[in-house]
Amino acid sequence: MTQAARTSYARTVRGSGPGLLLAHGAGGGIEANYGSIMDGLAARHTVVGIDFPGSGDTPAAGAPLDLDELADPLVAAADAEGLETFAVCGYSLGGPVAIRAAARHPERVSALVLSATFAHVDTRTELAAGIWQQLFESGQHVLLAQYLARLALSAPLLNSLTPAQVRAAAESTASAIPPGTGAQVDLVRRADVREDLAAVSAATLVIVTTADSLVPAGLQRRLAAAIPGAETAELASGHLPFAERPKEWLGLITDFLARQQARH
């Protein structure tokens, strides 16, 4: 029995209209990563998302995570909501999950939107993720929150805060770090969907977060170049577009999806 079969995934369902599945990032969740744009997404779509093991109300896994064991339950959630076809949005770790879903179910995935993401981490990002995982597993969660602020926020936003403000924010958010963070970041370090990219037939938009220190823009652009016919859009944000540029991020997603729906 797979981990997916053993795990009961917490599901978020909002709105009405064409299906839209959401895949979140490591150490995040559907509410944490998409909450700021959920109303806008749900205004036009039936939005379905699952929290990965150890995020939201989904129990932590007892074994290392696998991309298939995240992609398959996401599609199963669409099945449960009666969605035959759907677009998929993947943010950060959710990008490889979305790509795997699109490669495994080409007849069902109508469009793909990938934000601040990768097909395979480079040495720079693997090093950052390794430190992230070690800080989490060692229990140094305030230090981890500070480290992530340095990596995830753009320089202009970070420099608009004082060191004391960053420390206070880190202290307030450290206790909210999901218990599944370590396993999710471990998957970031191992995920590799490069062989799936040529099989992606859905119309694809890659949203490049140009001020991203965690997943550099060059890595995101390499992903876009490897997906046949993929479009790119640039967003002047660090790794957290939902925090820095939610209105612009929402607009890029919904405008692209509207264009794809108009063609069918």
In the chain (264 residues long), the average pLDDT of successive 10-residue segments reads 61 97 98 98 98 96 93 96 97 98 96 98 97 97 96 96 96 94 98 96 97 97 96 98 98 97 82
Q: Where are the domains of the chain?
A: 3-123+179-262
**Residue that is written with structure tokens 């612009």 in the block:** 248
Cα angle for residues 53, 206, 180 (degrees, 5° grid):
15
Closest CA to 227 of 190, 198, 189, 188: 198
DSSP summary character for residue 194: G
Residue ranges with strand state E in the chain = 11-14, 19-23, 46-50, 86-91, 109-115, 203-209, 231-235
Check residue 7 and give its pLDDT: 64
Check residue 62 and give its pLDDT: 87
Question: What phi, psi does 24 have (nearest 5°)?
Answer: -95, 175
Three-state SS for the chain is CCHHHHCCCCEEEECCCCEEEEECCCCCCHHHHHHHHHHHHHCCCEEEEECCCCCCCCCCCCCCCCCHHHHHHHHHHHHHCCCCCEEEEEECCHHHHHHHHHHHCCCCEEEEEEECCCCECCHHHHHHHHHHHHHHHCCCHHHHHHHHHHHHCCHHHHHCCCHHHHHHHHHHHHCCCCCCHHHHHHHHHHCECHHHHHHCCCEEEEEEECCCCCCCHHHHHHHHHHCCCCEEEEECCCCCHHHHCHHHHHHHHHHHHHHHHHCC
Check residue 262 and give its pLDDT: 86
Check residue 1 and give its pLDDT: 35
When the candidates are 3.40.50.1820, 3.40.190.10, 3.30.70.640, 3.40.640.10, the CATH number that belongs to 3-123+179-262 is: 3.40.50.1820
